[in-house]
Structure 1
Amino acid sequence: MNSQIPTFSLFMEENDLEELRSDIWNDLPLPATLHTSNSTFDIDIAYRGSYTRTFRKRSYFIEFIEPDMFDGSREIHLNAEYRDPSLMRNKLSLDFFNHIGVLSPESYHINLVRNGTPKGVYLLLESVDDLFLKNRGLPKGLIYYAVNNNANFSLTRDGKKKRSRLSGYRQKVGDQSDDESIRKLIEVINTSSLQEFSRIIPGYLNVDKYLDWMVGTVCTMNNDGFTHNYALYQNADTKLYEIIPWDFDATLGRKVDGGKMAYDYVPIQGKESNFLCSRLLQTTEYRKCYKQKLEKLLETKFTASYMRDKIDTLHQLLRPHILNDPYKRRKIKEFDNEPEFIYQFIKDRSHFLREHFSELD
C-alpha cells in the first residue's frame, strides 16, 4: 500500500507570520506562498475555527489568489484534528455520509510544512460553496452555514427568543434578498400545526435527504451536528433545502475535547434541541420512514465489518506520518488503540439503537 500523503509547503514572510501569531482571533487573511507537488500558488491564509484556535496545533483557511483555483476549488480548509487521537474521525464520518447518499465535502490528509518546519498531519476539507455544487453537476442554489447553536430550526434557544430567524446562519452563496427563503423555512417549521406541517414541509425541504442525514448523524453521534456543523443548500431547480454535514471530528465515541462520549449519550430521536428533527418525528409517516432508514443502515453500512477495512486502511496510511507529527508522535500508542475503540463504539451504538426501536413506534 502506498504510504505517502501529499506535502504542502507553506511560506510566509516573518512579519506576516508574526502578525498571524499575534492575534489568533483575527480573521483578516495574510499573504503567503503555497507549494504543492505540481504547482506554486499565491494565497491568503488565516486561522479558522472557534475554541480550536487556542490549541498548539491550529487550523487554517486558505484562499487561492494566483492561480485562483486548486483542484476545482478557490478555497480550502486545513483542519489540525488536534483533539481527535485518531485524526480519522472527521474523514471517516464525512465519507460515511457520502456512502449513504448525503451531500458531503471531500477530504484527504496532507503533511504541512511551514517555513521549512514540519507542522504535522492535517485534514484538507473541501469548501461548501458554488464550486462544491458545480463539481457535482448540481443546480446553482443558496448555501447557508450553521455558524453556532442558534441554528436549531427554532424561534428560541434555551427558552429564550432569538433576535432573528436568521440567527445562527451565515449566507455563503446568494444575496441579501434571498434571505426571505430561509426565513420562510423557519416560519413553516415553527408556526404550522402538526397536520399542516406534514403537508407543507415537503414544499420546502427534501425530507428524504434530511432523514438520511439524520440517521447518519444519530449513528456517528455528532452531538454538535444537530444545531451546528452543517450547511443548508437550496436547490435552484426544486426549491428544496438539503443539509450537508461539516466538521464531524467529534464523532464515533469522542467528545470535542477528545474525551470518551458514552455510546448512549445521544438518544435514538437525535437531539431534542433540533426542532426540525422533533417536528418530523412527531409525524407518523416521517417517523416510520426514519425508523426504516435507521434499521437498514444498522444492517448494511453502520457495522464494524463494513467500516473495518476503511478504518484499517486509513490508520495504516497515516501511521508513518503520525510518527513525524511534532504534536502527535508522542501519542502513537493512543493512535494505535483508536481503531479498536471505534469498532467497539460502532458495535455498542448499534446495539443501543436497536434496543430503542420501540420508541419510534
Structure 2
Amino acid sequence: MLKHKLIRLAATACAVMLAPMIAYSATDHEFKEGHFHYSDEALANARKDVKMVDINVSMNGTDARVLFLKDPNDKSTFAADFSIEGERFEGRIKSFGSSTRAMKKKSIILKIKGEKWKGYKNISLNSMGSDGSMMRAWMAWELMRDMGMVVPETYYARLNINGEFIGYFLYIEWLGGRFLERNGYGAATEFYQATDATYCGDFRHSHEVDNCWTKLAPQGDDKSSMKSFASAVRSAPMETFDKFVAQNFDDDSLVNWIVTNTLVSNGDTYNKNYFMAKSDKTKKWRVIPWDYDLTFGQSFDMFVKFPESLFNERFQYYYTPDLGVFNPMKAKTLLNETLKAQFYAKLKHLIGKEKNGPEKTFGWFSPTVMHARVENLAHVLEAGQVKQKYGARSPESYDEQYDAVSHFGLARPFYLESNLFSTFEWSYRNTEQMKEYVAFTQGKDLFPGYLEKKADEAPSSKLAKASDVKKIKADIAPVGEAKKGLDEHEFMAKLLEKPFTGRNASVSSDDSLVVFDPGYGYFLTRLDFKSSYKVADFQAEAEGFKPPTYIFEGTSPDQCIQRSWVLFSRIPSLNIKADIMLEYFDEHSQKNELGGIKNEHAVNLWVHKGEAWMPLMTEVNQKSNTLKTYDFNLQAGRIYRFIACAAPESKLYSKPVGR
C-alpha cells in the first residue's frame, strides 16, 4: 500500500503548466494555460462591461451628515429626493447594517413614495464596507447567476448626495414579492428567511423553525410546511438523500449552493444568510443564497472581538468543502455518493478540469478567467475606493486588496484540485464535522447496522452524549489504511519529511510556472520568466511555522517570517531570469507565521546562493501574504534559500504593492 501511495504521489507531482499571471497589470491579456482550461465564452464574459448606475440624492445638509454618523440600527429616516437612471422620485432615506454597523461607510436604503422603480419601493445599497476590493459579493452573485441559480439582481451604483461623491455601492434586489414574481413564482409561494444567529437555521433541532425562520410570504404565521420539511431533512437517510433531494428541491439549487460556497470559501452560511422558497406550482423547495462579502479569502478570526473578528487583514484560500457550521443538508449531500459525484463534476467544470457543462461556465473559476475578471473590475472600481467620502483607501491599499482577490483566484483551483481530485482525496468522513454528524444521527445513516448491533448501548436522547460520541468514534474504523492516528495530509508530510514541497515543469510555449504542494495544495511559488526556454523544471520547498534555521548575523529569528523557502532548477543547462513570488500564512491571530513582526511592509526577502546572505528588492502584499522580487537570475546547479526578515536594511529594499 505504501509503495502504491508513493507511486501516486510521484505521478501527482509531474509537470503542470500555468500561464503568465502578471499581477498589478493594467492591461487585459490572455494567458496560455495548460493545467486549467476555459472556454472563449467564459473569458469574454469575464471581460464584459460592468454595469454602473448613477443615483443622485438631494436632502437637508445636516441630515446628510447625520446619515452616516448615527447607529444604523436606528430606524429613523430622512426626507430625500432621488434621481435613479434619470427617473425622479420622492421618499425617505436611512442607513442600515448588521456586521457593518461599526464601519464609517454604512449601507443605505432608499424608500420611494408613490411610483416604483423597476417594481420596487425599497432600493437596497450595500456599502461593501467589509470588502476592500468591492469585488467579492458581486463576483459571487455573477457566478451563481451564470450557473443558472435564482439569485437577486445586482449591479454597482455610484452614489452622490447633494452633488458630493459618497462612493460605490452594490445594488442588491429586494427579496420579496416582486423578486418571487420575476422568477416565476406565484402568489401562494412560501418564502422564509433564516434568522441571523450563530446557530439557528441549520435544521438540527425540532424547535428551531419557530425561532429561526421568518416567514416572509404569504402573510400569516402558519409554518407547518417548513416544519414538515425540516423534520424530513433530519430524518432522510443519507444513503438515499439524492432521491429526497430530487423529490423536494427544484433544479440543483442545493448542490449549486454548496458548490458556490466551496469555490468562494464561504463559511458564513448554512445556519443563516440564506432563504428558502417553496413553489406553489411544483411544491418543491429552492435555496436562495445570501450575503457573500466575507468570501474570496476574507478570513474570520474567532480569537478576537468584533469588529476585528470580521474586518481584518487576514487571508486564506485553503478551506475544504465542510467550511461553515454543520447542517444536515450539507452533510448528507457530501456523504451521498450520487450527490457528491454531482458536486465534484460541477467543481471540475468550473475550475476548468472537465468540459461537462455549458460553454459560458467552463473554466469560470480557472486562474486565467479569474485574473481577467479581477483586472476588469479593478479598472472600474478603483476610484470608488480611493475617492469615496467614508472609509477611503490609498491607491496602494486598494492594489493590495484586489491583488489578494486575484491571488485567491490563482491558488484556490490548485488547492481544490489537490485536495478533492488528487493523490489523497478529501473525505468528509474524516473531518471534525463528520464526528458531529455521527453524534447527531447516532451513526444510523452511515452505519445502519451499528445501532442495531449496539441497541442496548444507544442513548435514549436524540443527541448523543460526549461519552457516547467518543465510543462511537472509537468503534468506527478509519477509511483506508490505518496510519497510527495520522490523517492523510499528516501521513504524507511524514512521508516527505518536509511540510510542503512540490515540483513542476513547463515548455517553451509558456513563460510562467506555478509550483504547489500536491498533497496539501498549498501555493509554493510562481515564476514569471523573462526569456524563452525549451523546458523549465523547478522544485520548491517551504519549511513553515518555525523560525528560519539559517539567518544572517545580527538578526533575531523573531523578526523573520516563520517560514523559509528553497528553490532550484532540475534542468542542468537552464539559466534564466524570472520574477519570483512566495507566500506565507496569516490565517488568523492564532495561526500565522508572523513571529514578532508587526509591520509586514517592513519585511524583505533575503537569498543565500552558497556564499552569503543578500537582500532583495521586495514587493509586499500584507493582505494576500505574498512576497515578490523581480528580475532574479536563476542559474542551473544552484540551490537558492530564501528568508523574509524585517532587518534595519529592510526599508531600503521593501515596498508595498503597486501597479
Name the structure 2 match of 1:294. Answer: 347
Q: Deviations over 1:270-309 (max 9, x none)?
A: 4342221012222222122212222222212211222233
Name the structure 2 match of 1:66. Answer: 114
Bigger mean CA deviation after superposition, 146-155 or 291-300: 146-155
Indicate how the Cα distance of structure 1 residues 268 and 330 shifts in structure 2: closer, same or farther if over 3 A, else same.
closer
Q: Aligned equivalents of 1:253 and 1:81: distance in 2?
A: 15
Q: Which runs of 5+ in 2 are unaligned?
A: 1-47, 300-309, 353-362, 429-659
- Equivalenced residues, count: 354
**SS of alignment partner, residue 62 of structure 1:** strand
Q: 1:52 aligns with which of 91, 100, 120?
A: 100
Output the amino acid matched with 2:124: H
Q: Aligned equivalents of 1:285 and 1:37: distance in 2?
A: 47
Q: Aligned equivalents of 2:371 and 2:66: distance in 1?
A: 44
Whether 1:267 aligns to 2:320 is yes
Please say if residues 188 and 197 of structure 1, whose CA atoms lie closer than 8 Å, have aligned partners that are also in contact: no
Indicate how the Cα distance of structure 1 residues 28 and 174 shifts in structure 2: closer, same or farther if over 3 A, else same.
farther
Whether 1:324 aligns to 2:387 is yes
Aligned residues: percent identity? Answer: 20
Whether 1:208 aligns to 2:255 is no
Bigger mean CA deviation after superposition, 56-65 or 174-183: 174-183
Structure 1 residue 210: deviation in Å?
Answer: 1.0
Please say if residues 54 and 159 of structure 2, whose CA atoms lie closer than 8 Å, have aligned partners that are also in contact: yes
After the TM superposition, which residues 136-155 of structure 1 pair with which residues of structure 2 at under 5 Å, given as runs?
136-140=183-187, 141-148=189-196, 149-155=198-204
**SS of alignment partner, residue 130 of structure 2:** coil
Whether 1:170 aligns to 2:214 is yes
**SS of alignment partner, residue 112 of structure 2:** strand
Please say if residues 5 and 111 of structure 1, whose CA atoms lie closer than 8 Å, have aligned partners that are also in contact: yes
Q: Aligned equivalents of 1:304 and 1:197: distance in 2?
A: 34
Q: Counting helix residues as a fraction of each chain, which structure ranks higher?
A: 1
**SS of alignment partner, residue 61 of structure 1:** strand
Q: Aligned equivalents of 1:103 and 1:3: distance in 2?
A: 20
Indicate how the Cα distance of structure 1 residues 188 and 201 shifts in structure 2: closer, same or farther if over 3 A, else same.
farther
Name the structure 2 match of 1:124. Answer: 171
Please say if residues 82 and 89 of structure 2, whose CA atoms lie closer than 8 Å, have aligned partners that are also in contact: yes
Indicate how the Cα distance of structure 1 residues 316 and 32 shifts in structure 2: closer, same or farther if over 3 A, else same.
same
Indicate how the Cα distance of structure 1 residues 324 and 17 shifts in structure 2: closer, same or farther if over 3 A, else same.
closer
**SS of alignment partner, residue 123 of structure 1:** strand
Please say if residues 189 and 279 of structure 1, whose CA atoms lie closer than 8 Å, have aligned partners that are also in contact: no
After the TM superposition, which residues 1-361 of structure 1 pair with which residues of structure 2 at under 5 Å, given as runs?
5-13=52-60, 21-67=69-115, 69-140=116-187, 141-148=189-196, 149-156=198-205, 163-195=207-239, 197-206=241-250, 208-255=252-299, 256-264=310-318, 266-299=319-352, 300-357=363-420, 358-360=425-427
Q: Deviations over 1:25-55 (max 9, x none)?
A: 1235444322234122122333222121221
Q: Aligned equivalents of 1:328 and 1:136: distance in 2?
A: 36
Q: Aligned equivalents of 1:349 and 1:94: distance in 2?
A: 18
Please say if residues 51 and 156 of structure 2, whose CA atoms lie closer than 8 Å, have aligned partners that are also in contact: no
**SS of alignment partner, residue 374 of structure 2:** helix
Bigger mean CA deviation after superposition, 208-217 or 185-194: 185-194
Structure 1 residue 81: deviation in Å?
Answer: 0.9
Name the structure 2 match of 1:159. Answer: none
Name the structure 1 match of 2:652. Answer: none
**SS of alignment partner, residue 170 of structure 1:** strand
**SS of alignment partner, residue 351 of structure 2:** helix
Q: Aligned equivalents of 1:103 and 1:4: distance in 2?
A: 20
Bigger mean CA deviation after superposition, 255-264 or 239-248: 255-264
**SS of alignment partner, residue 208 of structure 2:** coil
Please say if residues 189 and 201 of structure 1, whose CA atoms lie closer than 8 Å, have aligned partners that are also in contact: no
Q: Deviations over 1:317-346 (max 9, x none)?
A: 122343421235442212223343222212
Please say if residues 45 and 62 of structure 1, whose CA atoms lie closer than 8 Å, have aligned partners that are also in contact: yes
Indicate how the Cα distance of structure 1 residues 181 and 44 shifts in structure 2: closer, same or farther if over 3 A, else same.
farther
Q: Deviations over 1:164-201 (max 9, x none)?
A: 32433222222225521111111111133435655444
Output the amino acid matched with 1:263: Y
Bigger mean CA deviation after superposition, 23-32 or 269-278: 23-32
**SS of alignment partner, residue 356 of structure 1:** helix
Please say if residues 202 and 272 of structure 2, whose CA atoms lie closer than 8 Å, have aligned partners that are also in contact: no
Indicate how the Cα distance of structure 1 residues 343 and 323 shifts in structure 2: closer, same or farther if over 3 A, else same.
closer
**SS of alignment partner, residue 346 of structure 1:** helix
Indicate how the Cα distance of structure 1 residues 318 and 194 shifts in structure 2: closer, same or farther if over 3 A, else same.
closer
Bigger mean CA deviation after superposition, 194-203 or 223-232: 194-203
Output the amino acid matched with 1:63: K
